[in-house]
Structure formats: structure tokens, C-alpha cells
């Protein structure tokens, strides 16, 4: 299944919250004391607190009295969109409810586990929902039909399904990064680079221990070439991401040290493994053939093939996975 991407982005909605200002305190009122009236004796002097001869300037009391801090208005917690909940119903087909979890699983299968860009998600959701509805309707229709299945066709389907199940590589970007980091940790612990490359690398160079030979910067993607240049001789990089996956790179010496812009490196490539990828399936299919032949007792009764050049066939055709 292919998904058409590349649609216009949705406009984002901005939500702002306003705070409230506090009020400053007011100056306290002052009072004086008077001598008692109707007494012949001189009134005792009262000790009065000194008062300013001039009235305080407007605003002085406000400056002396600290203002109350404005109260922070609590921010409203964003409400979860009920349409994105796993049990949210996205369609009803002949009384059967399809929920968000069903649609997400269908999309994940169609994209091989790749994340759909946010600006394209609404369109992808709609297109995939239509495909999912068609699938459910066809399943119900076929379930009610009497269909004879060709045994060879059934064998092909079962074999391809089994080969797909043999894929054990990372299914997400996070899993690929974690595996690359684990490889780097093993190398830091003294593991042999070439051996780890043969076991873990998804690049054809794995057969050569990950060695890419000498190359110029323009022969590699910029992120890879930059990583090699920034390494010391024989240094090993942290996982470097490119469109191919995550690379753990070791810089090697070049034969001609004076050669400009010539680099030499080996790497271990860890990428997301789509079980339906033909390259992955071909590798796993060959492994399955080797495993079953290794456990079987085989007696070949045919006479030896004639030597090359004697009119016989020059070579065996490559094994092909059924359905190719």
C-alpha cells in the first residue's frame, strides 16, 4: 500500500492567558494629642513624636509600602482531543465500529512504522480510513464466499508470511538508535569492529567488515563525510543519522596521506527494518533455505554436471522468493 504525502499544513491555533495586576497599599492616617482643658496648672508637656514640617509628597507612602505581587493566574491544562483517544470511534461500517487504534495500526502497517509528518496527518488519516473501510467490507464479503484456493498459491502466501516474520531488526527510529548505541558500547569495550559489522550492519559492506574503501566527500551524504572528517585517525563516532539509518563510523588511514579530500572509513549501519522490504526478505529467505537444507539428509542421484566449457550450463540461477 502506498500513501500519498505532501499536502498543505494545517494552521495552528494559539491560546494566550492574561495575568492580573495587584493594587499597592495606601499610606496610614496620622493623629495628634491635645492638653486637657479647664486646668490652672500648666499642662504637663507631652512628648510627641517628631512630625515632618512639610507634608509628604504624593506617592511617598506608596513607595515605602511594597506592592502586592500580581497573582499568577493558573494556566488551563490542555484538554485531550477525544478524537485521538484509542477508543474514539472513527467510522461505523454495517454496525461494526472502527476506532482510532484500528486506524493507527493500519497506518503503521502501511508506512512500515514510519511517523507521518504532523502537517500531513489529517489527509493521511482520511485516505487510510477509506482503505480500512474497503478492507473490512471485502473481508466480510470473501468470508461468505466458497473460494477454492490453489495449493501452490497458498504455499507461496504462507512462505512469504513466514519469511516476513523472520525479520528481527529495529521497527522504529528509537529502536534503531538504541541498537546503534549498543554497538558503539561494545566497540568501546574492545569488540572487533569487522566482526560486529558482519553481524549487525545492514550495508552490503558488512561482508567486508564494514570497510567502504577510500572515497571523496562528494561520494557520501554530507552528514557522513562531515562525521569522518571530524574523527581522529582510528577514532569511532557516536551514532550518526542519515536518511539510510544510524551509522557507527571508524576513520581509517588513506594510502596517500597527501591526497586532498580523500577519506577512508568503515561503518556499521543500523536501519529500521521493514519486514516486507524485498532486500530484507531475500536475505531471510536465503537464510531459511540454508537452515532447512542443513538439517536435512539429501541424496542427489543425478550424475555430476559437465565441466564449464564442455557444453553444460555455466551456473545456477539465483533462488527466487515465490511471488517475485
Residue 212 and residue 253: Cα distance in Å, rounded? 12
DSSP string, 42-106: PPPPP------SSPPPTTHHHHHSPPPPPPPPPPPPPPP-GGGSTT-EEEEETTEEEEHHHHHHH
What pLDDT is attached to residue 273? Answer: 85
User: Cell numbers 506608596 correspond to what residue?
Assistant: 62
Q: 44 pLDDT band (50/70/90 cuts)?
A: very low
Q: 307 pLDDT band (50/70/90 cuts)?
A: confident
Residue 304 and residue 112: Cα distance in Å, rounded? 46
Q: Which of the residue ranges 2-6, 47-51, 60-64 would you say has the lowest mean pLDDT?
A: 2-6
Residue 242 and residue 253: Cα distance in Å, rounded? 23
- Asked if 181 contacts 194 with a C-beta cutoff of 8 angstroms, the reply is no
Q: Which three cell numbers stand for residue 86?
A: 484509542
Given a cut of 80, is residue 308 above it in pLDDT?
no
pLDDT tens per residue, range 182-221 = 999 999 999 999 999 999 998 999 999 999 999 999 999 9
pLDDT (average), residues 1-26 = 35
Question: Chain-wide mean pLDDT for the chain?
Answer: 78
Given a cut of 70, is residue 70 above it in pLDDT?
no
Given a cut of 60, is residue 32 above it in pLDDT?
no
Instruction: Catalogue all structural domains in the chain, each as residue range(s) with its CATH number.
Output: 82-147 (no CATH), 173-270 (3.10.50.40)
pLDDT tens per residue, range 86-109 = 889 999 999 999 999 999 999 988
Residue 306 and residue 312: Cα distance in Å, rounded? 6
Of the candidates 305, 193, 186, 315, the residue with the CA atom closest to the CA atom of residue 250 = 193
Q: 81 pLDDT band (50/70/90 cuts)?
A: low
Q: 163 pLDDT band (50/70/90 cuts)?
A: very high
Helix (H, G, I), strand (E, B) or coil at 25: coil
Strand order in the sheet with 262-270: 211-216, 262-270, 245-251, 240-242
Q: Which of the residue ranges 26-30, 204-208, 282-286, 304-308 would you say has the lowest mean pLDDT?
A: 26-30
What pLDDT is attached to residue 69? Answer: 61
Show Cβ contacts of residue 23 under 8 Å, excluding neighbours closer than 6 positions. 67, 68
Q: Which of the residue ranges 32-41, 134-143, 149-158, 249-258 would you say has the lowest mean pLDDT?
A: 32-41
Given a cut of 90, is residue 312 above it in pLDDT?
no
User: Cell numbers 536475505 correspond to what residue?
Assistant: 283
φ, ψ of residue 80 in degrees (nearest 5):
-65, 135
pLDDT (average), residues 230-250 = 96
Q: 299 pLDDT band (50/70/90 cuts)?
A: very high
What pLDDT is attached to residue 68? Answer: 59
What pLDDT is attached to residue 82? Answer: 57
Given a cut of 50, is residue 24 above it in pLDDT?
no
Rg (alpha carbons) of the chain, rounded to whole number? 39
Q: Which three cell numbers stand for residue 308?
A: 564449464
Residue 107 and residue 1: Cα distance in Å, rounded? 10
Given a cut of 50, is residue 302 above it in pLDDT?
yes
What pLDDT is attached to residue 128? Answer: 95
Number of alpha carbons in the 13 Å side-chain half-sphere of residue 6:
2
Q: Which of the residue ranges 33-37, 71-75, 119-123 would you say has the lowest mean pLDDT?
A: 33-37
- Asked if 212 contacts 197 with a C-beta cutoff of 8 angstroms, the reply is no
What pLDDT is attached to residue 74? Answer: 60
Q: Which three cell numbers stand for residue 275?
A: 519486514
Beta-strand (E) ranges in the chain?
Answer: 89-93, 96-99, 211-216, 240-242, 245-251, 262-270
Helix (H, G, I), strand (E, B) or coil at 285: helix
Give the end-to-end CA distance of the chain in Å, rounded to a whole number: 17
pLDDT (average), residues 124-151 = 93
Q: 319 pLDDT band (50/70/90 cuts)?
A: low
| Long-range CB contacts for residues 160-164, cutoff 8 Å, separation at least 24 | 160/281, 160/321, 160/322, 160/323, 162/288, 163/281, 163/284, 163/285, 163/288, 163/321, 164/275, 164/276, 164/281
Given a cut of 70, is residue 130 above it in pLDDT?
yes
Amino acid at each position: 500500500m502506498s500513501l500519498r504525502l505532501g499536502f498543505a499544513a494545517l494552521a495552528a491555533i494559539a491560546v494566550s492567558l492574561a495575568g492580573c495586576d495587584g493594587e499597592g497599599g495606601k499610606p496610614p492616617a496620622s493623629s495628634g494629642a491635645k492638653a486637657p482643658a479647664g486646668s490652672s496648672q500648666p499642662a504637663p508637656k507631652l512628648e510627641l513624636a517628631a512630625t515632618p514640617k512639610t507634608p509628604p509628597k504624593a506617592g511617598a507612602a506608596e513607595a515605602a509600602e511594597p506592592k502586592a505581587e500580581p497573582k499568577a493566574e493558573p494556566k488551563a491544562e490542555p484538554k485531550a482531543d477525544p478524537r485521538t483517544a484509542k477508543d474514539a470511534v472513527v467510522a461505523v461500517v454495517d454496525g461494526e465500529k472502527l476506532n482510532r487504534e484500528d486506524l493507527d495500526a493500519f497506518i503503521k502497517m502501511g508506512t512500515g512504522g514510519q511517523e507521518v509528518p504532523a502537517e500531513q496527518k489529517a489527509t493521511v488519516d482520511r485516505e487510510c480510513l477509506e482503505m480500512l473501510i474497503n478492507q473490512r467490507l471485502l473481508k466480510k464479503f470473501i468470508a461468505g464466499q466458497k473460494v477454492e484456493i490453489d495449493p501452490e498459491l497458498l504455499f507461496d502466501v504462507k512462505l512469504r508470511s513466514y519469511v516476513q516474520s523472520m525479520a528481527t531488526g529495529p521497527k522504529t527510529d528509537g529502536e534503531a538508535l538504541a541498537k546503534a548505541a549498543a554497538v558503539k558500547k561494545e566497540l568501546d569495550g574492545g569488540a572487533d569492529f569487522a566482526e560486529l559489522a558482519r553481524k549487525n550492519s545492514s550495508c552490503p559492506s558488512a561482508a567486508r567488515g564494514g570497510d567502504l574503501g577510500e572515497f571523496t566527500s562528494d561520494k557520501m551524504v554530507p552528514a557522513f563525510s562531515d562525521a569522518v572528517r571530524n574523527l581522529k585517525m582510528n577514532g569511532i563516532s557516536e551514532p550518526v543519522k542519515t536518511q539510510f539509518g544510524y551509522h557507527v563510523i571508524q576513520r581509517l588511514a588513506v594510502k596517500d596521506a597527501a591526497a586532498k579530500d580523500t577519506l577512508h572509513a568503515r561503518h556499521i549501519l543500523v536501519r529500521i527494518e521493514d519486514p516486507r522490504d524485498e532486500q530484507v526478505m531475500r536475505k531471510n529467505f536465503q537464510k531459511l533455505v540454508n537452515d532447512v537444507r542443513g538439517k536435512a539428509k539429501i541424496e542427489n542421484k543425478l550424475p555430476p554436471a559437465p565441466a564449464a566449457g564442455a557444453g553444460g550450463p555455466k551456473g545456477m540461477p539465483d533462488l527466487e522468493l515465490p511471488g517475485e
